[in-house]
Amino acid sequence: MSHKPQTTPKIAVNAVVFNDKGEVLLAKRTDNSLWCIPGGHVDLGETLAQACLRELFEETGLRGEVVRLVGVYSDTKNSLHILQGPEWHTVRVSFLCEIVGGTIRASKETSEIKYFDLNHLPDLITDHTKRIQDAVENKTDALFQ
């Protein structure tokens, strides 16, 4: 797959969701078979929160609402989660969300959707473990990474 080099970073959002047992919602990607926090790129005309909730629904079938910001992650080394190449840079914004409706289902981008115990997480994309931990710990320094 060939990609045109970026001149500015892309913006991505993720929804960190916990159930009443404290398990985290993860989606298994169809492009690399790794598990991840549901999310994706922000479209033109969307707010970060709108994009987060749209991606949550598209990838999992669940409708949510944003509870709070977890963190903003802009380091370049953890930006290469889909192997686009060294010129690819994504600024990632994670939100804690709660589910308000919908039914769990896979999508064209996800093959499985499951809740996982925090002590038994599967292989995750790059820094998703850190983002989950930041949501659990309610860390404010996550805003500056």
Which positions are catalytic? 112
Rounded Cα distance between 61 and 112, Å, is: 11
pLDDT tens-digit readout, 44-97: 999 999 999 999 999 999 999 999 999 998 877 655 555 555 566 788 999 999
Q: Where are the domains of the chain?
A: 10-144
The distance of Cα 121 from the centroid of its chain, to the nearest Å, equals 15
Instruction: Please report which helix (H) or strand (E) contains residue 25, including its range.
Output: strand 24-29
CATH number for the segment(s) 10-144:
3.90.79.10
Cα dist from 32 to 39, 100, 128, whole Å? 15, 29, 15
Quick: pLDDT tens for 6-29.
678 889 999 999 999 999 999 999
